[in-house]
A and B are shown apart, each in its own frame.
Chain A
Amino acid sequence: MNYVVLGAGPAGVTAAETLRSLDKASSITIINGEDEPQPYSRMAIPYYIYGKIDEHGTYLRQTPGHYEKLGITYKVGRCGGIDPAAHKVYLTGGEALSYDKLLIATGASPIIPRMPGSNLTGVHTCWTLNDAREILKHADKGSPVVLVGAGFIGSIILEALYLRGCKITIVEYAPRMVARMMDETAGGMLGRWCKAKGVDVRVSTKVEGIHEGSDAPGAKLTVELSDGTTVPAALVVLAVGVRSNTGFLVGTGIATNVGITVDQHLQTTAPDIYAAGDCCEGVDLSTGKPDMLAIQPVAVEHGRLAALNMAGHSTPHRGSLNMNVLDTMGLISSSFGLWQGTPLGKTARLIDEDGFKYLKLEFEGDKLVGAQCVGMTDHVGMLRGLIQSGFHLGNWRDRLLAAPERLREAYIDVMQSRPGFGPSAPHTNTPIAKSA
């Protein structure tokens, strides 16, 4: 068997490793569309930008010779097209590779907003390691920086640039920060926190354009905003969202929507071709519907599952849970599942505006289906545990509606009240505590 994996992000690398664990003999080739010595993690880029790690620290796998040891061929090249009938992948240099099973894990690319000046020197996206190297050339201590977009990625870059000592203005079209990750209360807290740290936060504001030249010290660019003001910048970082990389599939007959369409086995509409990670629309566990969830844990899940299916171990996907965690200059927030709530569901809230603490739980019946928190990190994974397992909370639903801070108690009680089952069961093959 000859496996080819297009894309060397977490989905591609996990798939290649999983294939090898299932099949010692087959040929496995992983192709990175970026010219880098090793597959790396985009998640690590902010930490590289502020110097917590070097480039090596961004690598997805840290053991020297990892891929060679596993007999995985690592190659750099960009895919120019696929011929599903001939079972061939064409790289842009003209090279053709044959495959028996192909995984498309080509990820996503940042959206470049249509506006004057988005191609100027000093205007960058922050998505690849190479973007980060470019950003470092302009992001000195005290440099004025304009961040376009205060979504998850914009906010995570914000922290990195803040820690480098840049003077930051963040511009967001939506009425709050992280509008697709958290509600008004949480977004408002983040905004106030950032302002208190000296960041100029402009929400409900659009960037009209960027032009060269500025009178301000250290600035080379001027950013024009929809409120009529201008902001000087040495660097403009565009972070308005990402889009699945599917352009090279035009004409192949492989169905795409927002991302590549996949079935429950992560197979595309073409035989022997699978897709995983940001480039495809896997099932969202919360809705049961296909969606492009561009997050690391989903990429890993997809990669592992696609590989199982490719190797002949039929494993349908139940769906992935959407979740995010964000550190905004020391204020840590997270959201899980249906954090927006559901029409017939009930909501528990704990709000401490002055203390920058917030916990919101969303229930459907007696199950937890979504959650958000700000300023709370201890045992936060329990939220995922309750949502993903779909355990019935019974009486605890009403107790949590009255006192959401009792979440950890509820988790332990619910998990341990089912003898032998529950994620805490392996932990307690001991007398199970009786529930009240």
Chain B
Amino acid sequence: MLRALVIDPGKCTGCKQCEMACSFVKEGEFNVSKSRIRVFDFHTEARFVPYTCTQCAEAWCQQACPVNAITTNADGVKVVHENLCVGCKVCTIACPFGTVNYNASTGKVIKCDLCLGSPACAEACPTGAITFKDTEQAGFDKMKVWATQAAHATSTQGPNTPAAKG
């Protein structure tokens, strides 16, 4: 069963432990600028929104990669293969969510891969703002939501309309 990060910004206190945990697990250092998850801080409203890759079905990053360095694993997670990434950054401009970022110190791109099964951010979150749940239990249907979005904001007819499943 597919599992996904479920983010409830209403529970986020802005402690940024998710960012610390992510950068430590992924980069071996406490450097939140390299965290795959970011907490956006709305100063004037004392509101915080954790934000990371949705592992979207569209996978704009994957489609844009010129060297096949981003693939989808059995859990639907979009994974960057460091050995193949040339650092061209096309995925960073192609992802309309802005969740693929360039890491200048490695010359490769980084994105959330859900820690391949046990996301450190969810484990570190003290308030339950970030949880890792079965997608069905969470009522999480990415394709359906995307279609709703497309109907309201853009057209369902478009370059990135999900292809019919073969």
Contact = CB atoms under 8 A, between A and B. Distances in A.
Nearest to A20: B166
Interface in B50-101: 51-52, 54, 56, 63-64, 66-69, 84, 86-90, 92-101
A413 B148 contact: no
A42 B88 CA distance: 11
A388 interface: yes
A404 to B, nearest CB: 15
Given A52-B107, A412-B40, A323 B93 contact: yes
A379 B98 contact: yes
Contact of B89 (A14, A315, A332): A332
B163 A22 contact: yes
A388 B54 CA distance: 18
A301 B38 CA distance: 29
Given A315-B157, A408-B40, A425 B7 contact: no
Given A62-B84, A318-B157, A426-B140, A409 B67 contact: no
A320 B86 contact: no
Interface in B74-132: 84, 86-90, 92-102, 104, 107
Interface residues of B, number: 65
Contacts of A411: 98
A62 B81 CA distance: 11
A10 B102 contact: no
Interface string A6-44: 000010001000101111100000000000000001111
Contacts of A390: 153-154
Contact of A57 (B84, B102, B152, B160): B84
B28 interface: no
B42 A409 contact: yes
B25 interface: no
Interface string A39-72: 0011110010000110001111111000000000
B138 interface: yes
B146 interface: yes
B90 A409 contact: no
A324 B139 CA distance: 37
A380 B154 contact: no
Contacts, number: 211
Nearest to B159: A301
Nearest to B155: A318
Contact of A318 (B64, B92, B145, B159): B159
Given A47-B86, A308-B163, A418-B152, A429 B139 contact: yes
Interface of A (DSSP majority class): mixed
A341 B88 CA distance: 26
A334 B88 CA distance: 12
A381 B100 contact: yes
A248 interface: no
A412 B101 CA distance: 16
Contacts of A315: 157-158, 161
A424 B99 CA distance: 11
Given A14-B63, A416-B9, A424-B97, 20 more contacts: A22-B164, A42-B66, A53-B67, A62-B68, A63-B68, A296-B64, A318-B158, A324-B93, A332-B102, A379-B99, A381-B92, A381-B93, A385-B98, A390-B153, A391-B153, A408-B98, A409-B40, A424-B51, A428-B7, A430-B10
Interface of A: 10, 14, 18, 20-24, 41-44, 47, 52-53, 57-63, 296-297, 300-302, 304-305, 308, 313, 315-320, 323-325, 327, 330, 332, 334, 336, 377-385, 388-391, 408-409, 411-413, 416, 418, 420-431, 433, 436
17 contacts: A22-B164, A47-B86, A60-B67, A315-B157, A317-B159, A318-B154, A318-B159, A332-B102, A383-B98, A384-B98, A388-B96, A421-B152, A425-B145, A430-B8, A431-B8, A436-B42, A436-B45
